[in-house]
Amino acid sequence: MRNASRLVTLAAGLTLAAAAPASADHKHVVDVDVIASGLDNPRHVAVAKDGDVFVAESGRGGDHTTAQSCFDSAEGFACTGKTGAITRVDRRGQRRIVTGLASFAPVTGNSAIGPHGIYADGHDVYFTNGGPTEPTRGGATVLRDPTLVSEDRVSEKYGKLFKLRDHGRLREIADLWKFEQVNNPDAAAANPLIDSNPVDVYADDGRFYVADAGGNTVLRVGRFGGIRALAVFGNVPNPTPIGPPGIQAVPTGVVKGPDGALYMSQLTGFPFLPGSSSVYRIDPRTGARSVYASGFTNAIDLDFGRDGTLYVLEIDHDGLFPVTGGPSSDGALLAVPRRGSRTPKLVNLPAGTLTHPGGVAVGRKGDLYVTNRSDEAATGQVLKIDLG
Write down the pLDDT at residue 248: 96
- Whole-structure pTM value: 0.91
Q: What domains can be seen in the chain, in order of their start residue? A: 29-387 (2.130.10.10)
Cα pseudo-dihedral 352, 374, 233, 289, rounded to 10: -60
pLDDT at position 66 is: 98
Residue 246: its pLDDT value, please? 94
What is Dmax (Cα atoms) for the chain? 57
pLDDT of 10 reads: 29
Establish whether the linkage from the previous residue to 185 is cis, with ω within 30° of 0: no
End-to-end CA distance of the chain: 19
For residue 5, give Cα distances in angstroms to 117, 216, 332, 378. 9, 12, 16, 18
Query: What DSSP designation does 9 have?
Result: -
Q: Are 121 and 131 in contact (CB under 8 A)?
A: no
Q: How far apart are CA 159 and CA 288, in angstroms?
A: 25
Q: Are 42 and 109 in contact (CB under 8 A)?
A: no
Per-residue pLDDT of the chain (388 residues; tens, 9 = 90+): 544 333 333 232 222 233 334 444 445 556 999 999 999 999 999 999 999 999 999 999 999 999 999 999 999 999 999 999 999 999 999 999 999 999 999 999 999 999 999 999 878 999 999 999 999 999 999 999 999 999 999 999 999 999 998 878 999 999 999 999 999 999 998 899 999 999 999 999 899 999 999 999 999 999 889 999 999 999 999 999 988 999 999 999 999 999 999 999 999 999 999 999 999 999 999 999 999 999 999 999 999 999 999 999 999 998 887 654 446 789 999 999 988 788 999 999 998 999 999 999 999 999 999 999 999 999 999 999 998 7
Measured CA to CA in angstroms, residue 199 lies from 114, 147, 323, 365 at distances of 9, 22, 26, 26
Residue 24 pLDDT: 47
